[in-house]
Amino acid sequence: MARPAPLLLLLAAVCLVAASSAGGADAAERKTTTVGVYELRKGDFSVRVTNWGAVIMSVVLPDSRGKLADVVLGYDTIAEYVFENSSTYFGALVGRVANRIAKARFVLDGKAYHLYPNDGKNTLHGILEKFPEVQEIHGAWFISTNSGHRGFSNVTWTVKEHVGGGDAPYITLCYHSFDGEQGFPGALDVYVTYQLSGPYVLSVHMNATAAGKATPVNLAQHSYWNLGGAGSGDILGNTVQLFASRYTPVDAELIPTGQVAPVAGTPYDLRAPTPVGARVHRVTGGLSKTGATIYGFDTNYAVDGGDDVDAHALRRVAVVRDGKSGRSLELWANQPGVQFYTGNFLTADVKGKGGKAYGQYGALCLETQGFPDAVNHPNFPSVIVRPGQVYKHEMVYKFSF
């Protein structure tokens, strides 16, 4: 659902007014915001969203026998999303730059920018410098924050529009990111729309406009999918097909080497439907805190067609199928890459909805995006947005059963 330019400007103004009326995100005084939970419903297909971190809290749909289940990982309460989600990012919209930036620095237009490391000496998705205070009063959640650097998954977004029912229910959220937030140059006005755009179709529309300075922008929707139902077990029996002939190899810290390599002849080749469990122990997905090798996918793939003239058109990215439930997910998007992650770092102490321990490989992520660390690799597709330009990121999830 493309938005006309005047509405983009209006949404940006709304976000800016919301930030200014609260004293601005970079103001020294404490700011208190209200956080809610908003439902979109179309028959027996429903999605719940919160304006804390623009999080998708639940996606409920039937299986082949008509049994309903929530197919995304997450938590039961807003407080858990505030205090527990800064490392898992369940359902969150992450930014200003998703994925990793090597050594928490980059150079843009001849100037070096230093960010706040939160993944060893690197940055990942966005830092949370200070935990806010959270209070529930008569079912309403109030979050109080001081100034500090926070990723987009750790801020309160403004609800611009919410239509919970009808033919195409949707919610539009916006956020004004101040100049210097997380160390990035320039102010940025961001909005995201989640919409049930068809029968069992969830569309995600992300836009961002830079004000005053050029800045890197790479937003990602970080939902964890388990088509058998959240907490139902691992996803090793799911089949995955990625429409990607190349990937970006990484070093031990999961930083890209700069190479864009063919998947042919490697365990990363998922061009044909492949059970996750057949490959997950043949690829490395980082190191544990003790230095032990973690197995699993945490890999950026170059989506086929990303080099075409019309590179921003929607392209088929992935198909995931769960044989037990009969559910399938087909993902389309317009970004050059997709990060395929198999929940390698989920452990038994990560407890989610209903107190269930999700466990390693308890879900998978398909994060369409620009390439990781693109700011430090001139040969990667650029993620720089200059004043007057509009960043657009479109995703479409098509479910069947």
Residue ranges per structural domain of the chain: 37-400
Q: Collapse the DSSP code of 245 into the 3-class scheme (helix H, G, I; strand E, B; otherwise coil) and give the result.
A: coil
- pLDDT value for 30: 57
- C-beta of residue 249 within 8 angstroms of C-beta of residue 257: yes
Token pair recorded at residue 279: 């490959």
d(CA 151, CA 125): 7
pLDDT at 254 over 50: yes
Give the dihedral sign, CA 84/188/19/115. Answer: positive
d(CA 369, CA 256): 14
Centre a 10 Å sphere on the Cβ of residue 6 and count the other Cβ atoms it contains.
Answer: 8
pLDDT at 290 over 80: yes
- Classify residue 381 by its DSSP letter: P
- pLDDT value for 1: 44
Which helix (DSSP H) or strand (DSSP E) does residue 19 occupy? helix 5-21
Is 153 marked within a binding site?
Answer: no
* Nearest residue to 191 (alpha-carbon basis) of 330, 1, 24: 1
- pLDDT value for 12: 47
pLDDT at 13 over 50: no
Centre a 10 Å sphere on the Cβ of residue 192 and count the other Cβ atoms it contains.
Answer: 23
Question: pTM (2 decimals)?
Answer: 0.91
pLDDT at 19 over 90: no
- Strand locations in 138-200, DSSP E? 140-145, 158-163, 170-177, 187-198
- pLDDT value for 26: 43
* Nearest residue to 318 (alpha-carbon basis) of 351, 364, 286: 364
Active site residues: 222, 367
Sheet holding 133-137, edge to edge: 31-35, 140-145, 133-137
Exposure of 1 in the CB half-sphere (CA atoms within 13 A): 20
Q: Is 250 exposed, middle or buried (0-12, 13-18, 19+ CB in 10 A)?
A: buried
d(CA 400, CA 393): 23
**Mean pLDDT rounded to a whole number for the chain:** 90
pLDDT at 131 over 90: no
- pLDDT value for 132: 73
* Nearest residue to 175 (alpha-carbon basis) of 254, 94, 264: 94
Is 100 marked within a binding site?
Answer: yes
Is 146 marked within a binding site?
Answer: no
- Topology (CATH level 3) of domain 37-400: Beta-galactosidase; Chain A, domain 5 (2.70.98)
Amino acid at 174: C
Is 99 marked within a binding site?
Answer: yes
d(CA 225, CA 268): 20
Low-confidence winner among 22-31, 187-196, 204-213 (lowest mean pLDDT) = 22-31
Give the dihedral sign, CA 158/151/145/55. Answer: positive
Q: What is the dihedral of CA 159, 164, 170, 175, to 10 degrees?
A: 10
Of the pLDDT bands very low, low, confident and very high (cuts 50, 70, 90), residue 86 is confident
- Classify residue 355 by its DSSP letter: G
The residue-averaged pLDDT of 4-13 equals: 42
- C-beta of residue 346 within 8 angstroms of C-beta of residue 69: no
Of the pLDDT bands very low, low, confident and very high (cuts 50, 70, 90), residue 374 is very high
Of the pLDDT bands very low, low, confident and very high (cuts 50, 70, 90), residue 306 is confident
How many Å separate Cα 206 from the centre of its chain?
11
The residue-averaged pLDDT of 270-281 equals: 98
